[in-house]
A and B are shown apart, each in its own frame.
Chain A
Amino acid sequence: MNRTNPQRLQLERQPMEPRALKSIVLSAITIVCAVTACIPLFSVLLMLVYRGGKRLTLELFYTLPPGAFDAPGVGGFGNAIAGTAFMVGIAGLISIPFGILAAVYLAELDPHSKISEIARFCAKTMTGLPSIIAGVFAYAIVVLTMGHYSSWAGGIALSLLMIPTVMLTAEEAIKMVPNPMREAAYGMGCTPSQSLIKVILPVGMPGIITGVVLAVARAAGETAPLLFTALFSESWLSPNDPTASLAVLIYNWSSSPYPNLIELAWAASLILVVLVFILNIVSRSIGGKTKL
């Protein structure tokens, strides 16, 4: 007889068998889900280029916000760009040394002590801290004490969000430094701090910078902490007064009735997103090149 052996049949793939069919259907659903999830990103990017690109001129960078009744097409937000840069700068000055020094202790000097465990736990908890809470806190300690809104309060609020990111990524980066490096440094008679400053930190630097750049990118886009710490202003940066930032500008102008301001909000979004993406790409290329 020329019949196929039934036992061999079972081992062959039957595409119309219910089990195989179910597998194919589920795979198709998964593909649809993945594609759907990418739609928002492309939609946002497309709209930013389409609506923000129309207004993208050099003038935006050095002019002040227009009045509500100015002619359409007039005005820019140089002050908001300066304000964002200034406040992110303050936040960086606070959070980068803070984060790196604490990370050195956590990763290198005393990784398993009680205080390190607790500090690590606190930092992880702080990454989940709602950004508006950072604003409320900075309002309570800076704005209420000084009596007025200022860029300092905004910078401090942003630094609270950067500290845990800088700290945890720096800890990972320092831990990645190969042990022979340490052994060599100690073998040369370095004290722990000498080996850290001259050998371990320089070797781990790309990883640390990756974390710092990501934290900066995040801080540049944060809005909630600035709403009632830096507030907003229509004039050029003066650190002790309310300060404009790109993020708050987008928030304030997005719901305004003036088409000119809405157009500017789109242009500001485009600039902000381009900035954030550049920072992300920079951090990736630094981190990717020197994976130890």
Chain B
Amino acid sequence: MADNKFLGNAGGRTLSKPPTPGDIFFDKSFRFLTRAFTWATVFLLTFIVYKIGGEALPAFSDLGIKFLFTSTWNSSQDVYGILPQIWGTLYSSFLALLLGGFFGITIAIFITQDFLPYRVEFVLKNIIELLAAIPSVVYGLWGIYVLIPLIRPVANFLHEYLGWIPFFSTRLSGLGLLPAVLVLSIMILPTVAAVSQDAFKAIPHKTKEAAFGMGTTRWEAILRVMLPTASGGIFGALVLGFGRALGETMALAMLVGSMSTLTLSFFSPADTISALLANTFPEANVGLETGALMSAACVLLLITLIVNVAGAVIVAKATPGGDKR
């Protein structure tokens, strides 16, 4: 009788019993279901590539290789070339990477290298993460009404006095590459900062202690020991940031000015593949134009897939456990 007290609600029933056929069937089907969805993930990515490639292929074979190397986009005459867009995509992403990468790595150093009391560190980290949470379309709106009026005088001053440098060779009349790049760099900064932080955190504490033990100053330790040790992970972070910048759409669609020009100037309007898709697709004529747009999407997909896969592989190799992002 005393036993019953411990058996509680189970009363006289046995607590464990072998699984019933129903249990076994349920288990099998649950396993099957999860396995099916795992396969579906693989299938989904393959299908995306296949479908966009399939839509693009007929148009691409019509347009020929000159699609990639000419600069006219004229839907009334069915002439399509995306050289300026490819150039604009790579150029804007590269510039954004220079800026966002520099700030991102600096902030990662700032957060991980004991500059700050823990609380301030925590706040700064969250602020940087919130930068990423703001939708890019809001940054676009901010860019149009706050950023552009702010940088236009500076840009035109630079053009006035340093106009002989190709980077400053045009005036900033409003929309243009510079505001787009600034917003783009804000958008990749959190990615670069987060992944570089992981790279710094993966360095064993003893490495830094050893450097300080040799009598280095704080920055000698950072520049000569910590940065080289984390360089693999940081490089991966930069590649991932570059991948993000290549695919980012709204900031560019709203700010870059969408003009098919090949230019080095920071202040000239330009165009990118993603902006071309965003601006042209909704009004495109079904047929060769949507085909051409699909081909452009295909080019973008290929570039970003290569860059992102390379970034993920570098990060995974460089920082054990740092490949979560």
Measuring CB to CB, which residues of chain A are less than 8 angstroms from any residue of chain B?
19-20, 22-23, 26-27, 29-31, 33-34, 36-38, 40-41, 43-44, 47-48, 51, 97-98, 101-102, 104-106, 109-110, 115-116, 118-119, 121-133, 135-137, 139-141, 160, 163, 167-168, 172, 188-189, 191-194, 196-197, 217, 220-224, 227-228, 231, 247, 250-251, 254-255, 262, 265-266, 269, 272-273, 276-277, 280
Contacts and interface: CB of A to CB of B under 8 A. Distances in A.
B51 A276 contact: no
A48 to B, nearest CB: 7
A140 B290 CA distance: 10
Contacts of A97: 37
Nearest to A134: B48
A207 to B, nearest CB: 13
A119 B281 contact: no
A22 B134 CA distance: 36
B277 A44 contact: no
Interface size class of B (residues with CB under 8 A): 35 or more
A141 B140 CA distance: 29
Main SS class of interface, A: helix
B210 to A, nearest CB: 18
A189 B16 contact: yes
Nearest to A44: B142
A276 B246 contact: no
B51 A137 contact: yes
7 contacts: A23-B217, A30-B106, A123-B41, A125-B312, A188-B16, A196-B30, A277-B130
Given A273-B138, A280-B130, A131 B27 contact: no
Given A23-B219, A129-B48, A277-B133, A227 B281 contact: yes
Contact of B277 (A136, A191, A193, A221): A136
Interface in B104-148: 106-107, 109-110, 115, 124, 127-131, 133-142, 144-146
A168 B38 CA distance: 12
B26 A224 contact: no
A54 B203 CA distance: 49
A128 B308 contact: yes
A192 B137 contact: no
Interface in B10-28: 15-19, 23-24, 26-27
A97 B27 CA distance: 17
Contacts of B55: 140
Given A122-B42, A272-B138, 4 more contacts: A109-B35, A129-B301, A160-B48, A193-B31
Contacts of B48: 129, 133, 137, 160
B66 interface: no
Nearest to A29: B106
Given A136-B277, A251-B253, A254-B254, A191 B248 contact: no
Given A192-B31, A227-B281, A105 B308 contact: no
7 closest Cβ contacts across the A-B interface? A130-B247, A221-B135, A128-B308, A105-B34, A193-B30, A224-B249, A102-B37
A102 B323 CA distance: 19
Contacts of B282: 227-228, 231
Contacts of A188: 15-16
B1 interface: no
A105 B33 CA distance: 9
Contact of A130 (B110, B131, B246, B254): B246
B218 A23 contact: yes
Nearest to A11: B215
A109 B31 contact: yes
Contacts of A40: 131, 139, 142, 186
Contacts of B277: 132, 135-136
B244 interface: yes
Interface in B209-225: 217-220
A44 B145 CA distance: 11
A194 B42 CA distance: 27
B52 A223 contact: no
B41 A37 contact: no
A221 B133 CA distance: 9
A288 B201 CA distance: 20
B140 A254 contact: yes
A27 B219 contact: yes
A280 B282 CA distance: 32
Contact of A223 (B218, B249, B293, B301): B249
A223 B278 CA distance: 10
B167 interface: no
Nearest to B15: A188
Given A30-B106, A102-B34, A193-B27, A130 B248 contact: yes
Given A102-B40, A130-B249, A26 B294 contact: no
B249 A31 contact: no
A277 B130 CA distance: 8
A125 B220 CA distance: 37
B250 interface: yes
Contacts of B34: 101-102, 104-105, 109
A222 B135 CA distance: 7
Given A118-B42, A191-B24, A41 B131 contact: yes
A98 to B, nearest CB: 6
Given A31-B110, A119-B39, A163-B41, A132 B249 contact: yes
A27 B113 CA distance: 11
Contacts of B18: 189
B204 to A, nearest CB: 23
B228 to A, nearest CB: 16
B44 interface: yes
